Amino acid sequence: MSKLVAPHGGKGLVCALLEGAELKAEQTKAAGLKQVEISDRAKGDLIMLGIGGFSPLTGFMKKADWKGVCETFQMADGTFWPVPITLDVTTADAADIAEGSEIALVKDGVVFATMLVEEKYEMTDADKKWECEKVFLGEGEESVDGKFWELAPKDHPGVIMVLAQKEVNLAGPVKVLSEGEYPTEYKGVYLKPAETRAMFDERGWSNVAALQLRNPMHRSHEYLAKIAVEVCDGVLIHSLIGNLKPGDIPADTRVQAIDILIENYFVNDNVINAGYPLDMRYAGPREGLLHATFRQNYGVNNMLIGRDHAGVGDFYGLFEAQDIFDRIPTTGDDSKDLLCKPMKIDWTFYCSECDGMASLRTCPHDKSSRVILSGTKLRKALSDGAEIVDHFGREEVLDHLKIYYSNLKEKVEVKMQGAASGDSM
């Protein structure tokens, strides 16, 4: 019997992905339904709904759930959830869709799901702005003193995404018909929650940590993972393989870099390299909670949360993504509460005086002795062709990344922020 943490929501893994004869029948039915084009974000959400990554969700949220998630971190039934999972359509499309009807959800000619539309509700500009303030507003210098609405509509990708949503949300359960390109393009890396759970059980793991990545692993990431290896049974290095913002390094390059690092610097039996099919929402602390929520479904009970987890620019405080775990509601009911707990790690860096990796909790020296490590700083140095300081990353990994950047025809300017540069230390 598995000793892993139970999936979130108390209903086991809730998987909407169809197979076999049931899949073929639904595909035939979908051909006769109204087809609605969906966003990349919705595509990733559908796949997570399909494979059980978003358990206990069965589909896109109704208005009461959307409001509760934004306002109190809880759906209408009291189940914890930190970020809205919604499907937006145009007013024209919504006019042709009756509540109680079924539609097909399509992306680039592929039918990803069918949906029973149980509710449709308007999202006014005021509603979108309210969602942004609840989900994306932080405590960093770009969020306070009235700066948020001055800067976020042009500089915060999560806010830009919500403000650009269409006028109506559709809600209701889905039947997922496709996992897209992930099973073929990321074979062996794209793993479903049932698969990671089976792997953990096979290895005898019961106490598992996850390291969230959207950048290649540098020495700080490596240090965080090894801290977790020391105190847990094993670590899931879990990379986002959905869409990122311009200038971020693509998933295949990052996955290969992680493989190089694991092969050379980890005990292979204690770590698993895997990917998940979501787009980044860039929701800072709220996204840290989302990362913990769906990692619980993958069998993880500890979420590594370091400096500026899922941060954007300087919209969030350096450790706001840690502090938010102390403020979320609890009911005392394990079937409704978040069971995946944060592993809160202080700011980490290489210290020449300590002659090794250290943190603000362990290093007594000043920052002149420290190599400040961040994914943004690494991407900027690589993009600019600048020299990368000693002890920033492993040479084998850096050589791999340099090949990627040398083959780029167009480069995106990487914006530095205080958290990445070390100015905030």
How far is it, in rounded angstroms, from Cα 356 to Cα 134? 40
Of 41, 169, 197, 214, catalytic: 214
Question: Which tokens is 109 given?
Answer: 């000619």
Query: Which run of H or of E encompasses 105?
Result: strand 102-107
Provide the 10 A C-beta neighbour count for residue 34. Answer: 13
Taking the mean position of all CA atoms in its chain, how far away is CA 204?
26
Strand partners, 209: 235, 302
How far is it, in rounded angstroms, from Cα 425 to Cα 51? 41
203 catalytic? Reply is no
End-to-end CA distance of the chain: 46
214 catalytic? Reply is yes
Of 41, 169, 215, 370, catalytic: 215
**Do residues 218 and 373 lie in contact, with contact meaning Cβ atoms separated by under 8 Å?**
yes
What are the backbone angles phi and psi of residue 365, rounded to the nearest 5°?
-90, 165
Name 349's Cβ contacts closer than 8 Å, sequence gap at least 6. 220, 357, 358, 359, 363, 370, 371, 372, 373
Angle at 417 between CA 85 and CA 250, to 5 degrees: 55
Taking the mean position of all CA atoms in its chain, how far away is CA 285?
11
Angle at 221 between CA 231 and CA 341, to 5 degrees: 45
Question: Which tokens is 380 given?
Answer: 């900027």
Closest of 349, 375, 357, 374 to residue 253, by C-alpha: 375
User: Catalytic residues, which ones?
Assistant: 214-215
